[in-house]
Structure 1
Amino acid sequence: MPTAPQTTDELYRALQENDRRPYGRGRTVTAEELVDAAEHFAEPVPLVHALLELHEAYTYGSEPRKSPVVFARLLTLFDEQPDIFDERLRHTLFWRFKWLANALRALPEIPLASLHQWLTEMRDRYEEAGLGLQPYYGQAYQLAAHTGEDTTLAYELWAGRARTELSDCQACEICERAQYHLTAGDDERALRTWEPVLSGQESCKEEPARSVSYALLPLLRTGRTDRARELHLTGYRACRRNPSMSGEVGRHLEFCALTGNEARGLELLAENRNLFDDVDSPLDLLHFLTGVEVLLQRVGQLGHGDLPASGNTGRTWTVASLHAEVHRRADDLAARFDTRNGTTTHADHRRTRLDRAPLLAALELTLRSRSLDDVAVFVPLATSPAPTAATVPDTLPELITRARELDQQGHPDAEACWARLRTLVAVRDYTHPDDPAVGPLTQLRADLLADEANRAGEKDEFEAAAALHEEAANLYDEAGAPGDATLARACALLATAEIPTQGGDGAEAKTAALTVAHTSMVRLHQETPALAPYQEARLLRLRATALGLRLQSSGDDEHIAPALAEVDLLHAFATQHDVTGQISGAQVLRASTYAVSGDLPAAVTEIDALLDRLKAHGPAWHLPRALGLRGRLQLGLQAAQAAHADLTESLRLATDWPAGAVNTARLHGDLAEACMHLGRPEEALRHLTRSAELELRRGSRTDAYCTYGNAAQLSLDLGRVEDCIALLDSLLVEPDVAAEELDDRLVAQLRLTRARALHAGEDLKAATTEFVALAAESAEWDDDPGSHAMIAAETAVLLGESGEYAQARKAADQALAAHAQAPRYEQLSGCLRELARLQAQQQGGDGLADALAFLADAGRIADEARAAGYQARGRSLDTALAYEHGRVNAYAGAFEDALAALEQALALLGEPGPDQDHAGEWAECVRLAGAIEGIYLERPAPALTRLDAAVSRLTTLGHNEETEPLLSLATQLRNE
């Protein structure tokens, strides 16, 4: 707090502002400072308000040890000066007797006798004040359940009594009743009791999140898995990182552990790492740690105890070490409670949770379903040593020879051999075989560098690839392998040509670079005698690839013939020397060249011929790639069903080969596109998420995040709001995102989609907070004012929905300033019209002037758009503006102006025609004009004339559905 309040008015404003902050140390510290400030005023009432705010901050900030001291001060003030407590303050004070009972139960150092003594005082004070005792009996029941006594009588004494004004809210009481049935082993009755809360009919500050966390396992046990999944997503988001709901977080972790979602559990644990340090309530901490232990125990049982885990700050944890620490702390807490209570209830409860077997082998909780193996092997596939005994020879000479043979063939199993060799050579005491057939160590090191360079090129890391190929070429020269050196240099030339250029015409520069690379490759070819057939075929393949890429970059028809000529040269040579892999490679290049030149039918014909050859002569590992290419060509020909069949078969065949041999990430991405064309978005969503996760595992993280962003947007479009939010939450806590290593615009796009999803999910507060942050960040994007205009406009609308019109005006002004640099006519017009509507609707006549100011800005944008020749996608900006003038003036009570504006809108719309959208807009405009004229201006006769004429016109055109609201209004006017 910058400065202490100097007046009571300033104090009350500060208290209101603090009340809007989230619970946590920031809010609590400010509340403590406000209490200090309130003590300096002569009036006691401000101190009461400040103490109540501090008491709430301690309660919901999970600091029960401090709560009793504050409540004791309030109670003393009440006893000494009861007159300063008006009815509302008195009600609040007696309500919080229950809060103190909860706080004392959460502290094992408080003797059981003191708990009973407090309940006795609560009962006495309620009786003295003439208040009903149902809340007291509710606390007595909760204490009995806490200690493990027989709760039957205590439950009946509470549940059988009529509720009072100080009873817990309906949602909280429902949760307590449901837990009673749950403890008795009656899942079905518990879920029936919970239904009003789980369905959203009853809620409060902690509900339904609290009930959801308890209901997850009963839902699974009774077979309601879809409902459990849905509630996990909504319930977890409502309690994550919240110290006062750490027990609820623990139950969500337990749910993950028991449904085959251990990887998601570890992810959520990392997101809630703060709870290890922020939770000051021993009881909440016990519940949280027990849920954590269920998860860690399960991960350890599955053989992943060495995985990293997120625990107390200050040290690095593995699953195994954190499990041991959590077990110790939770056991100690349970023992302290049981010692205080004289029972074994908490130890027994822990044992029950820890002994629970998984309820499902696998339940897909989110769009990003990952296993522990995915978490453990989060490195590019090409560096993952996954050879099998059958693939990799045992002896070193055989292994080196086999790797080279497979590499010459382009066989996928070569990578397993190179991976094994890379591991062996890296060992300090590696001894190279003294075998002329194997060659020197220098040659092997060159082989490994060449393989590493190829993998870098596959990930578009062209600078690294070029450098590695050059280094390999030098080593090959040293080893006396000129053919391999030439190939490495040719690869370096191609990689260098593909390095993106800065500024200027990138396509032109790349075209020139590829031309130079091709010329240099031809010269290398001519200058290197005695190439082996496989080397010469590979060099010809590189030459053809360079010209194919040149055609793709330039789009120049003059580059088609040279590219095809090189392909023909490669095909003829490979056929003459029976280099099988390069024969099919030539046909792929030919098909690609036809495709790039726009001749898709010829490309398909070429691929069909290739598939026939592959099925007859091989190599079989080229089949998935060829089918994938044909699938993409079919997409280009708009043959989505054929594309889907080819891509599906390609994926099936890819499973016959080592991971990474086929770009399955791309196949899933192409399948997603085919599914969208076929009207199967849910299937497309599955392929998008699978594609993204495979890209992550390949190390293509930017591509992966882009694909995941597309999946998030699709899930939002499908109405799967919570899936969208959960997916983006998962991505935004990834280490490279948190460390700001990922492109900031890409991260901003992910956050923007999340903010829109929060808005769609009616979490207006969270959505507005994110939009405001994004608007502030995008204001610094000098190179992209259009995006800032878009974000600021959406931010303004959300602020308007929250009633914060001063801030909305500032955001709208930011959007207008950015729009002046990069016009966004339709979006800005829509934003300003919506702000005007919101302000007039919420404030009536008081907000008319500001609403009309928004519409005046929208009018200027419409003028600019007209001058620029801009055509709106829907109705014209002028028409939309006139209609909004009608609505705004109507909300403000300026009915004559409203009717005039709607007449103008009707004139701009023109008579309805066969187009249904136009007819619908026209009919709505007529309806609103009729309502204003007939009801608010009390001129029913002309209003009925207007309505009857519109109904007749629409009926003649066959727009019967559009007439229904007009007929309904006409009937209302006639009846009145």
Structure 2
Amino acid sequence: MSSEELEDLIAEATETNWGAGLDEILDKALALAVEQGDESGEYRVRLQLGNNAQMTGDTDRLLSNFAWCLAKHDEDPVRFPNEPDPGSDLMWQFKWMVGALGADPQFSTEQIDAVMADMDAHYRRAGLGLSGVATARFESAFQNGHLDQARTAFETVQSTSRDEYSHCDACVRSVAMDYHFSTGEVDRGIAEFTEIMEGGLSCAEEPENAMSTALVPLLRKGDVEGLASLHRRSYRDARGNADNIGIIANHIAFCAITGNEARGLALAERHLAWLAHDVLSHRSHMGFLTAVALLLDKVDAAGHGDIPVRGSGSALLTPFFGQRSGDLTAVELAPLCWAAADALAADFDTRNGNDWHARLVAARREMAAESHELSLGTESFAPPAPRAGEEPRTGAQWRQHAVDLASTGQSDAAMAACASGLRSTDDPREAAALHGAVIGIIGGIGDERNLPLLREAVALRAAALREAGEEELAGLAERTAELLAGPDDEDTNAGKLDAIDRELQALSGHAEAKAELFAEKSMVLMGLDRIGQARAALAGMDAALLEWDAAPLPEGHGAEAMADARCRARAMHSSMMLRLAIEDGNLPEMRSWLATSLGQETSVVRRASAIGLRARLKAQDGDLPGALSDAEESTELLLGLGAREAAAQSTQLSAAILNDMGRTEEFRARLRFGIQQAQLAESPHVLGLAHSLARDLVEHGSHDEAVELLDETLNGGLEIGDHDRGELFDLLGNALRGAGELGGALNAWELGVDSFAANGEADRVAQLHLAASSLCQGAGHHDMAARSARAAVDSLNEALKDEAPGIDPELLIAAHMQLAEALSMDDDEAAEGVMDAAAMLAVQADSPVQAAEIQLIRARHLFRAGDVDAAVANALQASSALETLEDAGQQSVVALLQAAHMLDNAKRHDDAVAIYHSVIDELEGDAQGLEIVRHQLADCLESAGRSAEALAVRAEAEAGRQK
């Protein structure tokens, strides 16, 4: 049974993609093989472990497993064959060994040479071709700076016939390209890069590696067309595997010298931890360190040297930067990166007996003087977060600060603020208020395990109130505080209202207590959406406040605390009245209470909210500059409090206003800042912000940038619901289509279909199938287009069968239309039946526009079948039908033009001319349309032998264009 389990695990491993998941399967298989004493099984597992280690950048694991397998193979080649399973090949892994040892200076030249000789001997002994050996020898010589040996080795590679152990075409050309760039033969390197791209050559890390290597040489040659897209595509393909740290280094350096320091810093921060991934890959580490150092020098030169580099204080990076207590700024980290790179270069050069690696570091240093302006997107340095306000001094100030922190989810900081406030005051009234804040914070957390703490806070508040001589408030706190701090469910809220009403009836006239109870009652009622009753409760609160204001303040120590309590209560009343006005949609009342609230408010959070509302009202009034100023102030207040999630939400308002003002770059920068804040807060708001930014990027043609953003969002570790995931995949499909990656677009939409299906959204499932169908049809894959369209039809029909709500009949008709068109293009005889079904659905749904469009599909179908007269008749009928419809726009003219094209293509030019003239009559006033159709008419006249007329029509077209 155990043997069968081992075979099952090995089989599962062969079906699993590279990565941590594969390691888990193989580790289990290895443990089982060792436990059974099955060395043959262990050999097979270790070979697969070596493959995965190579692909994921775990050099230590690669070397150890290879050494064990090679020893077993040499011991008994029959029992431990070179290729025990498909995809597991010991001799193929030999090709990785020389490079793996060469990448770490702790391995000596003698060790590298010995492995090289061992590889040569094993290949010869096994009767294998020597192409792989020649390439490994060339790569080792080049990468270690032995250029004379590299030149000879490269000639050998070129003269050695390819065989089954040759490096793949993409890899051979990529390393040759790098070699020629490094030795000054730039044109030759660019030619090799062109061959890689035009030939569609690829493998595990190609062509993304070649693309990253070619960026700077192409830039220096001035060949910048498409470089931004090349950069983003390469980065996108490389960003998911820590073994690609060298590729990322090339992108960071490219950003540094093209004026894209902010983007470069984002990449550096995202991948800084990769330095700790593979402890033996020091050549890659050196390249990454020099790229980051170059970038940070550029960041400093751009005036942002004091910006912190997130992640630079990680303990994982201690081997490179020493022990750090926190993140370093750009100007602090840059010299540490250079120093670490210099140290590695010295170790390499000592081993190799040359200065090759020192020259590589020096070449990166010299790039600091290099500058090429090339926009890679809209990333910009986030504005520095506002400094927090002055630290509270009094108990009242600490209380307000605590309440603000708690209302933005910073419960631990809020509790600490209450503790600081209690230490800062000896006024029992202030202490009571602070204990009251603690009760609110604990209640807001909503964890039953905190009930003892809640009861302790209630007791402390009551004691403080008694010390202040407020027996009635103390008793009220003891009776109601625990209940009022409870959850906001229906049963609890009913209990809260009953308790409040009992207390109000029992009160003998204590205005402060009444105000507090009416405030609590109104909040509960608002939560229950009982707005009229909430308004009545607030009227009671207002009366209590007037009574309270009329009462004299106590003498001495408690006067300030009492005055503060009155101000807080009045500000709370105004804020709640404003909320009611918003609920009612009463604009005059809203404006009035907004002004009152801003004049009274001491809460940072409520003030930020009120200013945000004022911004919306100003935007509604057309005062966009004023609205933007208010929106930015609201965000700054929240950032000063450390409320990143709330600030991320507030940023959306600034972004929307900037978008309305047409300030696109600032709009995108604001959204990026919001995304950053949401990510730091681990907030789901990152999804909405990223979707807004990606949608804008797609709409404005920045498809590669959108793809990268969506890929990061989908793979960023956030918990994403099925609907949101489907929307993101839909947008990703559109972005990939715009970027020309049609296969990627289809895959994205397929994943979106899965997400929407899991959420029961048949309409969105159908829409994505139709998008895929349209894409396939445009690419000439009519059978695939038909399959996708049929899937859309089936999805909608199944939903209708299950009586699912919200299915739009017009969407079902559109799905039938798409299916009919695809079947017709694929010459499928089922097309006519689908057209008939679509036409019947259009009649049933009373959709005359779609009925006419179906006639046009039928017209095209008939024309393909050779029935020109019937085709033209259907097109003309469709045109006539559309002409009578108000919502058909120019579709009637399009149908008429389709009839003309059919006749023209059928060589019935004279008939076509008459319809072209009709189209021209309909297009009066549309200069661009007239020019196009007149040229088409002229071509038709020319084909009909009416050259003089054709010349006159062309002259009309030219005259119209010049106007």
Please state how far the C-alpha of 1:865 moved relative to its aligned partner: 5.2
Structure 1 counterpart of 2:356: 345
Q: Are residue 947 (structure 1) and residue 947 (structure 2) matched?
A: no
Q: Secondary structure at the match of 2:642?
A: coil
Looking at structure 2, the residues matched to 290 and 885 of structure 1 have their Cα atoms a distance apart, in angstroms, of: 65
Q: Are residue 753 (structure 1) and residue 731 (structure 2) matched?
A: yes
Looking at structure 1, the residues matched to 245 and 650 of structure 2 have their Cα atoms a distance apart, in angstroms, of: 42
Q: Are residue 931 (structure 1) and residue 898 (structure 2) matched?
A: no
Asked whether the 8 Å contact 2:878–2:895 carries over to 1, the reply is: yes
Q: Are residue 658 (structure 1) and residue 641 (structure 2) matched?
A: yes
Structure 1 counterpart of 2:934: 967
Looking at structure 1, the residues matched to 223 and 481 of structure 2 have their Cα atoms a distance apart, in angstroms, of: 57
Please state how far the C-alpha of 1:114 moved relative to its aligned partner: 6.8
Structure 1 counterpart of 2:651: 668
The alignment's TM-score, normalised by the length of structure 2, stands at: 0.64
Q: Which amino acid aligns with 2:895?
A: C
1:824-903 alignment, distance < 5 Å: 824-838=808-822, 840-841=824-825, 845=827, 848-849=828-829, 851-852=831-832, 855-856=834-835, 860-861=837-838, 863-864=840-841, 866-869=843-846, 876-890=849-863, 895-903=868-876
Q: Secondary structure at the match of 1:779?
A: helix
Structure 2 counterpart of 1:209: 208
Q: Deviations over 1:943-965 (max 9, x none)?
A: 111111221233xx423432333
Q: Deviations over 1:164-220 (max 9, x none)?
A: 999999999799668745665x9xx78995999699888643776334423566799
Asked whether the 8 Å contact 2:439–2:457 carries over to 1, the reply is: yes
Q: Deviations over 1:91-118 (max 9, x none)?
A: xxxxxxx999999777757749979999
Asked whether the 8 Å contact 1:624–1:654 carries over to 2, the reply is: yes
Please state how far the C-alpha of 1:910 moved relative to its aligned partner: 1.9
Please state how far the C-alpha of 1:906 moved relative to its aligned partner: 1.4
1:209-608 alignment, distance < 5 Å: 209-214=208-213, 231-241=230-240, 247-252=246-251, 259=261, 264-268=267-271, 288-291=284-287, 304=311, 306-307=313-314, 343=354, 345-346=356-357, 349=360, 391=391, 402-404=394-396, 406-407=398-399, 422=415, 447-454=437-444, 456=445, 472-473=457-458, 476=461, 483=473, 486=476, 498-499=488-489, 517-518=496-497, 520-527=499-506, 533=512, 537-548=515-526, 553=529, 562=536, 565-566=539-540, 568-569=542-543, 572=546, 576=550, 579-608=566-595
Q: Secondary structure at the match of 2:648?
A: helix
Question: CA RMSD, aligned part only?
Answer: 6.8
Please state how far the C-alpha of 1:834 moved relative to its aligned partner: 3.9
Looking at structure 2, the residues matched to 770 and 233 of structure 1 have their Cα atoms a distance apart, in angstroms, of: 18
Q: Secondary structure at the match of 1:804?
A: helix
* % identity of equivalent residues: 18
Asked whether the 8 Å contact 1:796–1:812 carries over to 2, the reply is: no
Looking at structure 1, the residues matched to 326 and 222 of structure 2 have their Cα atoms a distance apart, in angstroms, of: 31
Gaps of 5+ in 2: 1-13, 23-50, 70-91, 103-110, 125-130, 297-305, 319-323, 328-336, 467-471, 552-562, 944-963
Q: Are residue 812 (structure 1) and residue 795 (structure 2) matched?
A: no
Asked whether the 8 Å contact 2:252–2:268 carries over to 1, the reply is: yes
Looking at structure 1, the residues matched to 384 and 315 of structure 2 have their Cα atoms a distance apart, in angstroms, of: 13
Structure 1 counterpart of 2:892: 922
Asked whether the 8 Å contact 2:18–2:56 carries over to 1, the reply is: yes
Please state how far the C-alpha of 1:790 moved relative to its aligned partner: 3.3
Alignment size in residue pairs: 809
1:101-116 alignment, distance < 5 Å: 111=113
Asked whether the 8 Å contact 2:753–2:765 carries over to 1, the reply is: yes
Change (3 A) 1:269 1:767: farther
Please state how far the C-alpha of 1:932 moved relative to its aligned partner: 1.5
Looking at structure 2, the residues matched to 681 and 574 of structure 1 have their Cα atoms a distance apart, in angstroms, of: 52
Please state how far the C-alpha of 1:600 moved relative to its aligned partner: 0.7
Change (3 A) 1:621 1:445: closer
Looking at structure 2, the residues matched to 968 and 688 of structure 1 have their Cα atoms a distance apart, in angstroms, of: 46
1:48-59 alignment, distance < 5 Å: none
Q: Deviations over 1:479-506 (max 9, x none)?
A: 776747856987876776844x7xxxxx
Change (3 A) 1:419 1:945: closer
Looking at structure 1, the residues matched to 274 and 770 of structure 2 have their Cα atoms a distance apart, in angstroms, of: 31
Q: Secondary structure at the match of 2:684?
A: helix
Looking at structure 1, the residues matched to 242 and 190 of structure 2 have their Cα atoms a distance apart, in angstroms, of: 27
Please state how far the C-alpha of 1:668 moved relative to its aligned partner: 1.9
Looking at structure 2, the residues matched to 605 and 644 of structure 1 have their Cα atoms a distance apart, in angstroms, of: 21
Asked whether the 8 Å contact 1:587–1:610 carries over to 2, the reply is: yes
Please state how far the C-alpha of 1:141 moved relative to its aligned partner: 8.6
Structure 2 counterpart of 1:629: 613
Q: Which amino acid aligns with 2:577?
A: R
Looking at structure 2, the residues matched to 107 and 434 of structure 1 have their Cα atoms a distance apart, in angstroms, of: 63
Looking at structure 1, the residues matched to 928 and 310 of structure 2 have their Cα atoms a distance apart, in angstroms, of: 63
The alignment's TM-score, normalised by the length of structure 1, stands at: 0.63
Looking at structure 2, the residues matched to 721 and 682 of structure 1 have their Cα atoms a distance apart, in angstroms, of: 16
Structure 1 counterpart of 2:145: 148
Q: Deviations over 1:306-327 (max 9, x none)?
A: 537699xxxxx9999xxxxx99
Q: Which amino acid aligns with 1:601?
A: P
Q: Which amino acid aligns with 1:626?
A: A
Q: Equivalent of 1:709, from 663, 673, 691?
A: 691
Please state how far the C-alpha of 1:575 moved relative to its aligned partner: 5.3
Looking at structure 1, the residues matched to 497 and 136 of structure 2 have their Cα atoms a distance apart, in angstroms, of: 84
Q: Which amino acid aligns with 1:587?
A: S
Structure 1 counterpart of 2:86: none
Q: Secondary structure at the match of 2:735?
A: helix
Q: Which amino acid aligns with 1:629?
A: L
Asked whether the 8 Å contact 1:467–1:492 carries over to 2, the reply is: no
Looking at structure 2, the residues matched to 636 and 100 of structure 1 have their Cα atoms a distance apart, in angstroms, of: 69
Please state how far the C-alpha of 1:521 moved relative to its aligned partner: 3.0
Asked whether the 8 Å contact 2:858–2:871 carries over to 1, the reply is: yes
Q: Deviations over 1:436-493 (max 9, x none)?
A: 8679999987753533445x5xxxx799999986785466457776747856987876
Please state how far the C-alpha of 1:236 moved relative to its aligned partner: 0.7
Looking at structure 1, the residues matched to 624 and 267 of structure 2 have their Cα atoms a distance apart, in angstroms, of: 34
1:147-226 alignment, distance < 5 Å: 147-149=144-146, 180=180, 204-205=201-202, 209-214=208-213
Change (3 A) 1:269 1:537: same
Change (3 A) 1:676 1:610: same
Asked whether the 8 Å contact 2:462–2:478 carries over to 1, the reply is: no
Q: Deviations over 1:373-431 (max 9, x none)?
A: 99xxxxxx9xxxx999x6267xxxxxxxx3455426988699999967956999xxx9x
Please state how far the C-alpha of 1:762 moved relative to its aligned partner: 2.4
Looking at structure 2, the residues matched to 554 and 539 of structure 1 have their Cα atoms a distance apart, in angstroms, of: 17
Q: Deviations over 1:622-668 (max 9, x none)?
A: 6544322222334556765553343244445666x533399433432
Looking at structure 2, the residues matched to 486 and 370 of structure 1 have their Cα atoms a distance apart, in angstroms, of: 53
Change (3 A) 1:318 1:630: closer
Q: Secondary structure at the match of 1:876?
A: helix
Q: Secondary structure at the match of 1:938?
A: coil
